[in-house]
Amino acid sequence: MEKNENQEPKKRVKAINIDPRLCKGCELCIHFCPQGVLEKSKEPNEQGYYPPVPANMKNCKACKLCELYCPDFAIFVEEES
């Protein structure tokens, strides 16, 4: 099977970093993730909001939609080098 030269190599995610101090629990990241990687935390942050937590990291494709849609800039997707 030939490798398609125009195809980008698959990105691998090292971590999804979520700053609970910035998150207001809007859940946009959870709803926009096409792979269902994030879920709502069972514990509230200092402000009483429930930030997302990575639950299915193996499914993450590093699309960074969670990072893009976060209105509070609370998410940073870290890719493996």
Structure token digits, residue 26: 């809007």
**CATH number of the domain encompassing residue 52:** 3.30.70.20
Structural domain span for residue 36: 17-73
Report how many domains make up the chain: 1
- Evaluate whether residue 53 is within a structural domain: yes
Residue 2 has pLDDT above 90, yes or no: no
Burial zone of 69 (CB within 10 Å; 0-12 exposed, 13-18 middle, 19+ buried): middle
What is the tens place of the pLDDT at every residue in 43-57? 999 999 999 999 999
Quote the mean pLDDT of the chain. Answer: 91
- Evaluate whether residue 4 is within a structural domain: no
Element (H, E) at 79: strand 75-79
pLDDT band at residue 37 using 50, 70 and 90 as cut-offs:
very high
The pLDDT of residue 9 = 64
Distance CA 1, CA 17 (A): 37
Q: In 9-50, where do the E strands start and end?
A: 13-18, 38-40
